[in-house]
Each structure stands twice: as C-alpha cells, then as structure tokens.
Chains A and B, each alone.
Chain A
Amino acid sequence: GAGVSQSPSNKVTEKGKDVELRCDPISGHTALYWYRQSLGQGLEFLIYFQGNSAPDKSGLPSDRFSAERTGGSVSTLTIQRTQQEDSAVYLCASSLYGGDAGELFFGEGSRLTVL
C-alpha cells in the first residue's frame, strides 16, 4: 500500500542502548511528524519536519532524542541511552502540506520496550 510505513514494528532493548526508528512517509507529503503514545496517555508531539525548513524540535523531551529527515522523505528518530520511561509507541505521520491541513496520516507505529 501507499501509506506511512514504520519500522521496526516492535523493538525490545536494554536500558542504556541506542535505538533507531524509521519512518517512510506517503510519497509527495511534505510534512512529517513524530509523536509518541505511552500507555493511557495521549499523543505527545516530538518533532515536525516541513520540506527543507528547519525542523520544529520543541517537543523532544531530552537531548537523548534526535531526528533527521533525509532528502525530504525518510525520517529516522534516534533515542540514545534509552531509559525505561522511553517505553511507548512511537508514531510517525505525514501530511500533504502541514500547517492547518489537519489530516495527518499515521503509520502503525513502532512499539518500544526498554527493559
């Protein structure tokens, strides 16, 4: 299908290890978001990419989190020195224009468990 693709779908890691989560947005979508959803919690905004503009990193919870988007397409979210509180579902979404468009198309998420 032509939806947002995320990998891995599940990742179990040990505390202190680094993890990389990948997102392949819908072709042609210029805006890409990362959110995370912890058990019983709402979606927490992490970072936003729009075209070639500087990303909005205002939601990243600490400097252990970083993300990049190469060539305006695929994005990678990296978490260094993982902690147990990083356990969550990491959701990537893309939209055609971003801004007020409102319709975000989400991937199925990467479920991260930190032991």
Chain B
Amino acid sequence: RKEVEQDPGPFNVPEGATVAFNCTYSNSASQSFFWYRQDCRKEPKLLMSVYSSGNEDGRFTAQLNRASQYISLLIRDSKLSDSATYLCVAKANSGYALNFGKGTSLLVTP
C-alpha cells in the first residue's frame, strides 16, 4: 500500500466551480503535509503547506484531519489556469523523504 493515496481523477469542472480533492496517508507518524501542483510535462511546484488548523491562500483552502489521516484541498471559483495535477505530500517525523501521492488531475473547462 502506498503511503499517500489519492483519487487520480480526472476531475472535469466548469470555470467558476468549486472542487475538492482528498488524500489519505498511511503513516500515522507523518508530521508535515503539503500540496504540490504539477503542470503537464513540467516539474512539481509547492502550492501550499497544510496545517491542522487549516489554512487558506486566496481561492485555495487546505485542511488536515489527523484522526482520520486525510488531507483535503478545496479550490473555489476555478480558473482555466488551475488545470493541472495536484500532488498530496506527507513527510514522516523521521527520515527525510517527502512521500508523494500519484496526483489528482483537474481539468477546468470554459
């Protein structure tokens, strides 16, 4: 079983829609969590960190539920430019590896 599991999608949504992605992590020792964005045939880039208290960055909101070991990303008022693959990332307290999920593909259509 992979350490980080995500629904691969694709999620096809119209512009202006709200869309939510979830991911689950298996290692209860994981302490740090992130969402990365990867455009087609490009390198991943950090979108935002995820905190237990939840955090918001413009149209993006990330939540962490430690009890259920899942992380969510909410995108409001979707833009065409939001089309990408969103990678959920967890890091255990020991070691240095950031464990990436396979990603959830989002396509925002006009």
Interface residues, chain A, with chain B CB atoms under 8 Å away:
31, 33, 35, 40-43, 45, 48, 50, 56, 58-59, 91, 98-100, 102-104, 106-109
**Between A and B, how many residue pairs show CB distances below 8 Å?**
55
Q: Please tell me if the beta carbons of A108 and B43 are within 8 angstroms of each other in the complex.
A: yes
Docked CA distance A2–B94 (Å): 30
Q: Please tell me if the beta carbons of A42 and B45 are within 8 angstroms of each other in the complex.
A: no
Q: Is chain A's interface secondary structure helix, strand, loop, or mixed overall?
A: loop
Chain A min CB distance to B25 (Å):
13
Docked CA distance A45–B96 (Å): 10
Q: From the candidates B44, B89, B103, name the one contacting A106 in the complex (CB within 8 A).
A: B44
Number of interface residues of B (CB under 8 A): 23
Interface residues, chain B, with chain A CB atoms under 8 Å away:
2, 4, 31-32, 34, 42-46, 49, 87, 89, 91, 95-103
Given A100-B31, A102-B49, A102-B91: A108 touches B100 (CB 8 Å cut-off): no
